[in-house]
Amino acid sequence: MMRITVTVNGQVYEREAPGHRTLLHFLRQDLGLTGAKEGCGAGECGACTVLLDGQAVNACLVLAPEVDGRRVDTVEGQAVDGKLSTIQDAFNRNHAVQCGFCTAGMLMSTQDLLSRQPKPRDDDIKEAIEGNFCRCTGYLQIIEAVRDASGRTDGKGGLKHA
């Protein structure tokens, strides 16, 4: 066991973590933050995407002791006092959520993208969410939502690809 100190969504946590615990299981089971989902557990699907020191990573492919002294952001950190983030609001308005399993990962990949490129081109958006699988295949609405979150559309939302 190793004692780790990690800042998650701005709050400092000190916990014991065995070497073989993944960051995903640490977040979900030890901290009770179940927003990040376990899809494949092998870095294929991106449902567990979180930000590690501001960079999108698959939490299933990080060991908990690796995050000692570092900053992790999860989807729970996006809404503030019950008010959706700009990205979440854009996903909502553009019907970018179907079953919802990929949504937390999509939101975090989008947060990483917009922090690097506030006005991404469509190719940038596709590259940023390349590692996030939506098995409802609602990609067009998701891309539309990211465009909207970046201020590239009229902001009215709605279904543009029905």
Interface positions with other proteins (CB under 8 A): 2, 18-22, 41-43, 46, 49, 52, 55-58, 60-63, 65-66, 109, 112, 127-128, 130-133
Nearest-approach distance from CB 69 to other proteins, in angstroms: 10
User: Which is nearer to other proteins, 91 or 133 (by Cβ)?
Assistant: 133
Our CB check for other proteins shows the closer of 52 and 89 to be: 52
CB of 146 vs other proteins, minimal distance in Å: 13
- Please report the sign of the dihedral spanned by the C-alpha atoms of residue 35, residue 73, residue 109, residue 76: positive
Residue type present at position 61: L
C-alpha to C-alpha distance for 13 and 109, rounded to whole angstroms: 24
Query: Smallest gap, in angstroms, from Cβ of residue 155 to other proteins?
Result: 26
Q: Which of 64, 151, 141, 71 is nearest to 106 (CA)?
A: 141
C-alpha distance across the termini of the chain, in Å: 52
Q: Would you say 11 or 117 has its CB closer to other proteins?
A: 117
Helices 139-149/86-93 angle, 10° precision? 140
Q: Shortest gap between Cβ of 32 and other proteins (angstroms)?
A: 19
- The residues, ordered by sequence, that sit 6+ positions from 38 with a Cβ below 8 Å of its Cβ are 24, 28, 47, 48, 60
Q: Compare residues 11 and 29 and give the one whose CB is closer to other proteins.
A: 29
